[in-house]
Every structure is written in C-alpha cells, then in structure tokens.
Amino acid sequence: MLCRSLSRCVAVRPAAACVYRAATPENGRHPLTATSRSYAASTEPIVVRSPFPDVEVPAVPLFQYMWQNLDRYPDRVATECGLTGRRYTYAEARTAARNFAGALVGAGLGPGHVLSVFLPNCPEFPIVVLGANEAGVVVTTTNPKYTAEELSKQLRDCRPSAAVTTPALHGTVVRAFQEAGLPPPRLLVTVPAAASSTALDPGATPEGAADFQQLVQRAAPEGELPGALTSPDQVFIMPYSSGTTGLPKGVMLSNRNIVANLQQAREPAIQYSEVDSDGVCGADDAIPVVLPMFHIYGLSVVMLQKFSLGAKLVTLPKFEPQLYLDVLAKHKPQLLFLVPPMVLFLGGHPMVQRRHLESVRFVVSGAAPAGQMDIDRFLERASPATSFVQAYGLTEASPCVLNSERATKKQTTVGKPLPNTSVKVVDVETSRVLGPNQPGEIVTKGPQVMLGYYNNAKATAETLSADGWLRTGDIGYYDADCDFYIVDRIKELIKVKGFQVPPAELEEILRSHPAVEEAAVVGVPDERSGEVPRAYVVLKKKAQQVVTPQDVAKFVDAKVADYKKLAGGVHFIDAIPKNPSGKILRRVLKQQTR
C-alpha cells in the first residue's frame, strides 16, 4: 500500500511522500511538480498532499450511505447499552430510524427545521440522528451536562423546532426553550436512557412528551421521505465549536462533508478495523463508545464511521472506571478510541489488568496529543500485538484531517493527510508557507471542510478562505516523511478531557458578579484532565461586598457544567495584561502559572 501511494507523490528522499506547490503571481500555485531537491534547500511554499489515492465521494444523503450494506448483516447487533443490555439489530435500527423520520415529517418538520439532540450516549443516538437525516431535518447536538442557561444560548442561535432527550433531562430542555424565548418544541421526544451504573433513568414519559419507543412503532408513510430528495450539500448536522476564538458557533457540516470523511477513512493504510473488500467489518467487532456522541469525535469517528462498517456499538453514558473495564472484559474489543486522560487511566490505574486489554490490537488517540511516556506506560499493560496511533482533526473538518498509518512506528505523530486532503503550515504572524520541521499554524483543504459557521459570516471569513483553506488555530509541523506533529494551540479555548471550554464564556459569567471589574480565563495543566480553567480577576474598587476567590469560583461553578468549573482556582490581580488593541494577553497570564 505504501509503495502504491508513493507513486503519486514526490520522493524528496527515500520513504518521503510529500508534494509541493510553488506560488506564482498568476494563480498562487503551480501544477503538482516533482522535485528531487531536499526541503532544506527549497525556499518555495510547500503544500503537503495526501500520499493516498483520491476517493470518490458518493453524492448521496448520509442515511443512504450508512444503510448501503444493510442486507449483509441485518441480524447483527447494531447498538447495545453497556449498562442495561438494551439493544437493536441493524434491521431493527433501520426500521426505527425510518419510523422516527416519519414521525418528524408527521409533525410538520423537514428541510429548514432543526432538531436538538440532548442525549447521553445510548443505543438510540444513531437511530435519532439517521432518522432526522432521512426526514431532511438538521441535527444540532449538545452536551447533556449543560444547564438550562447554557443550553438556551445554543437554542437561541439555531432555533430548533423539536428536541430529543431523556425523562430526567426533560425539565432542563423545557426551561432552556423558555429562556431562549422560543415557542415550545413541536415534538419533544424522550428516550429511556441509563444515566450511570448506579442511577438509571426510569423512563417515565413526562407530560407533553412523546415516548421514543412508542413513536418508532408507528410505520412511516410509503415512498421516499424528504431527506432522500435533498442536495448532498444540504446541512446535515450542526455541532457547536468555539473555533479559533470566541463563543461557540454552529458548524455547518453537510451530507457531503460527513460522507467524504467516512469515505476517506476507508483507505486501507489508515483503516484500523479489519474489513472485507466491501468495507464490512467482522461479525464480532465490538466498539465501546464512551467518548460522547454529541462531540464530533464520538459522533463521526466512532459512531458513524463504525456503524457504517457494520460494527456493534456498545454505548456508555459516561466514563466510569469499573463499568468501562467490565465492558472491555465482556466484549473483548479489538479497537479502542481514546483521549489522553483515558490513556493515563489505562496505563496507570491499579484496577486495570492485562486481561482488560488482551484483545486490543489498535488504539486510536485523539482530541489532544498523547506523550511518549504516557503511551509507553499504556503499552506495558497491553498485549505485545497492540499498535498505538494518533490522529488529528477538528469539528470544522468533520473532523479528520490527519491519520497515522497502521504500520507506523512513530507513536507521537498524528500522521499524514487523508485522501483528497491538502495541508500546509504557515507562519502565524506573516502567513508565509513553511517547510518541514518549521512549526506554524496548520491550514487544510478538502471535501470534509465545513460550509461555514451558521449565521456568522465574520467568523467564517476569519477561519475559511474564499478558496476553501481552513485555519485550524493549532500549531504543528511535519518531518521529512510528511508525518505531522501537533505541538501547541493558538486557540484561546481550553480543552478539559477533550471538551472545549471557551474562556470568553466563563469571562462573561465572571463579569456578571457584582464585585468583579474584569476577568481573564486561561487553561492550566492538569494531570487528570489535560487542562482546567483558571480565572484571573480584578475586583471593583468600590465593591459592595467582601468576596474571596472561593466565593467567585462558587458563583461560576453554579452556572456551568462540571468540566467548565474553575478547577484551576481564582486569582485576584491588580490588572489584566492586554495589548494596545485591548486583547487579553493570555500568554502572559499562562507564564505566571509555570
């Protein structure tokens, strides 16, 4: 596979697989040109192309792509709750998804409408998403840990007409619609879902809500539903991301964006599941799904990608150590999707035994870089046959941009560009395109890149160029083999266990405290979470009350989800450092944390 791919690329040195485009006054770039010069000797701008053959992207709505091989495995288990054992076969999931689509259409919903999915991981999650797609309804996902106040901000922006949640979260959804100033949802559906290993949502349907199980028993109308008639470029899903700066924005991902990324991931050199010639995995391929499905990593890379291959998804509503280990022991997965805090847990916690990992052949880590020492500790407990690889992506790219090859020996690289994908590294200050081993901002282009930010042309223009290049806000470089490495972020957002925490959101809450004049929030290193938020606060000189840092922290913590709490503490300072234009100098504050 590697030899075949190299035939399409420039051999800069043995085993290298990079291609460059040189800038010209006429069109900004030459056609692809082979060169035998070393990168060190080249001063021309370099764009790294994928070493893998381009893939054809089917021009179909997502749900059709997902069900294309259904006749191969109708009786396989598609999704199973890791807590309760509640499950759906692929045939049952297909029927339920179509019937859910019919229920949405029956409620007057279709293209132009939005469905809010406010669910923990559960067997019904992919059914809800694919059903909405078949109805032509846009899906927006939200963290089920959100308070009504946090949820209302997203609802106010995307204005959904319907929602799916659990009975326990029903009240939060109702309050959020009210706080957003929206009319009640035309259809509010509740799914009985396991809340944790010790607390189960009993599933009683609240007044005014429809029960999912009863709803999907009603047959959908005959014929094609609206989703089958929509353009592949219609928005399929709209998760919210802070992008490079600022508050969360709706990322418009089309059917084509997601289908392209799923198709790109089928390239054999970066396919971590064992599949046949039709791209179908083995009947006993089980994937523990503990990464949240509302997040693009859990949604696209895990849920959609593996569902499209016919794997069994074993859902867990959240990470609980004993429950997760029980699932590993019972289902014996060959492939794990992790984030660095989970790598630390599996490599260091005394309750983890070799038997929990003996079946694992590939581990894919994402959301943030995993260090070599942490990888080594994990591999000491894993089977000698286990390979550890990393990948890189972002919500705005559906999400995958760079994937490590199955055969790589470089465990800290995030790999090479996916098929149909180009990547360049640019100087943060000048935007000059850089060569190998020169850190700069990662910029990418491909069919998986978003349409733009919903209702936010300014943010779209700042992130996405007119010719389709996406600024990622991440600092990285590539080596002589065109393997990329992520080393830092120029983004202001903080990543707590892989979750995005925009400082601007916490700063806004801090400034609403009657004793606070100014505030700045930065991420500080944390062994368990990767990062946690820390606040620097300037108090009002004539504040009406005496407050302590603990008082301010409690004020914020009461208004946000657990992972957004100020676990890094609150520090009172005399002034917030800023540049001449008034922008907070977060790097100066971060230097104070070292």
Residue 227's pLDDT band, with cuts at 50, 70 and 90, is very high
Residue 202's pLDDT band, with cuts at 50, 70 and 90, is low
Question: What size, in residues, is the chain?
Answer: 594
Say what the pLDDT of residue 34 is: 27
3-class state of residue 530 by DSSP: strand
Element (H, E) at 284: none
What mean pLDDT value characterizes the chain? 88
* Number of domains the chain contains: 1
On the question of pLDDT at 24 being above 90, the answer is no
3-class state of residue 32 by DSSP: coil
Better pLDDT: 441 or 20: 441
**Domain for residue 550, yes or no?**
yes
On the question of pLDDT at 45 being above 60, the answer is no
Q: Mean per-residue pLDDT for 438-455?
A: 96
On the question of pLDDT at 70 being above 80, the answer is yes
Q: Among 262, 233, 235, 270, which residue's Cα sits nearest to residue 399?
A: 262
Q: What are 33's two structure tokens? A: 């040109």
On the question of pLDDT at 201 being above 60, the answer is no
User: At 201, phi and psi to the nearest 5?
Assistant: -70, 115
Better pLDDT: 471 or 489: 471
Q: What are 480's two structure tokens? A: 């002589």
Say what the pLDDT of residue 272 is: 94
Say what the pLDDT of residue 545 is: 75
254: how many CB neighbours lie within 10 A of its CB?
23
Q: What are 378's two structure tokens? A: 């994990």
Element (H, E) at 186: none
Q: Mean per-residue pLDDT for 265-273?
A: 95
Please give the model's pTM, rounded to 2 decimal places: 0.83
Q: Among 367, 217, 386, which residue's Cα sits nearest to residue 301?
A: 367
* pLDDT (tens digit per residue) in 383-409: 999 999 999 999 999 999 999 999 999
On the question of pLDDT at 3 being above 60, the answer is no
Q: E strands along 225-377, which residues?
A: 235-237, 240-241, 249-254, 286-289, 312-315, 335-338, 362-365
On the question of pLDDT at 27 being above 50, the answer is no
CA distances from 405 to 198, 269, 280, 402, 483 (A): 40, 5, 19, 10, 10
**Domain for residue 485, yes or no?**
no
Report the largest interatomic distance among the alpha carbons of the chain, rounded to a whole angstrom.
72
On the question of pLDDT at 23 being above 80, the answer is no
372: how many CB neighbours lie within 10 A of its CB?
11
**Domain for residue 338, yes or no?**
no
The span from the CA of 129 to the CA of 300, in Å, is: 11
Asked if residues 54 and 266 have their Cβ atoms less than 8 Å apart, the reply is: no
Q: How distant is the alpha carbon of residue 278 from its chain centre? A: 27
Q: What are 399's two structure tokens? A: 């999400």
Which are the contacts of 303, defined by CB distance < 8 A and separation ≥ 6? 125, 126, 129, 289, 293, 313
CA distances from 320 to 82, 268, 323, 344, 567 (A): 11, 33, 5, 14, 20
Say what the pLDDT of residue 582 is: 65
Amino acid sitting at position 232: P
Q: What is the CATH number of the domain that holds 576?
A: 3.30.300.30
**Domain for residue 155, yes or no?**
no
**Domain for residue 578, yes or no?**
yes
The span from the CA of 561 to the CA of 149, in Å, is: 10
**Domain for residue 547, yes or no?**
yes
On the question of pLDDT at 475 being above 90, the answer is no
Say what the pLDDT of residue 579 is: 67
Asked if residues 36 and 501 have their Cβ atoms less than 8 Å apart, the reply is: no
Q: Among 14, 23, 19, 16, which residue's Cα sits nearest to residue 43?
A: 23
**Domain for residue 436, yes or no?**
no
* Structure-token match 């946690």, residue found: 532
**DSSP result, 334-373:** SEEEE-HHHHHHHHH-TT--HHHHTT--EEEE-SSPPPHH
The span from the CA of 183 to the CA of 202, in Å, is: 28
Q: What are 488's two structure tokens? A: 């830092």
Better pLDDT: 427 or 163: 163
Better pLDDT: 199 or 280: 280
Element (H, E) at 202: none
Say what the pLDDT of residue 488 is: 73
Residue 591's pLDDT band, with cuts at 50, 70 and 90, is confident
Q: Residue 530's domain spans which residues? A: 494-591
The span from the CA of 141 to the CA of 116, in Å, is: 6
Better pLDDT: 33 or 439: 439
Range with the poorest average pLDDT among 31-40, 92-101, 113-122, 552-561? 31-40
On the question of pLDDT at 135 being above 50, the answer is yes
**Domain for residue 257, yes or no?**
no
Say what the pLDDT of residue 42 is: 42
The span from the CA of 486 to the CA of 494, in Å, is: 16
By CB atoms closer than 10 A (0-12, 13-18, 19+), residue 562 is exposed
Q: Mean per-residue pLDDT for 160-175?
A: 96
Q: Among 113, 101, 179, 172, which residue's Cα sits nearest to residue 143?
A: 172
The span from the CA of 165 to the CA of 188, in Å, is: 8
Q: What are 268's two structure tokens? A: 């054999």
Q: How large a percentage of the chain has pLDDT more than 90?
A: 73
Q: Please report how many Cα atoms fall inside a 13 Å half-sphere around the Cα of residue 96, on the Cβ side.
A: 21
Asked if residues 475 and 482 have their Cβ atoms less than 8 Å apart, the reply is: no
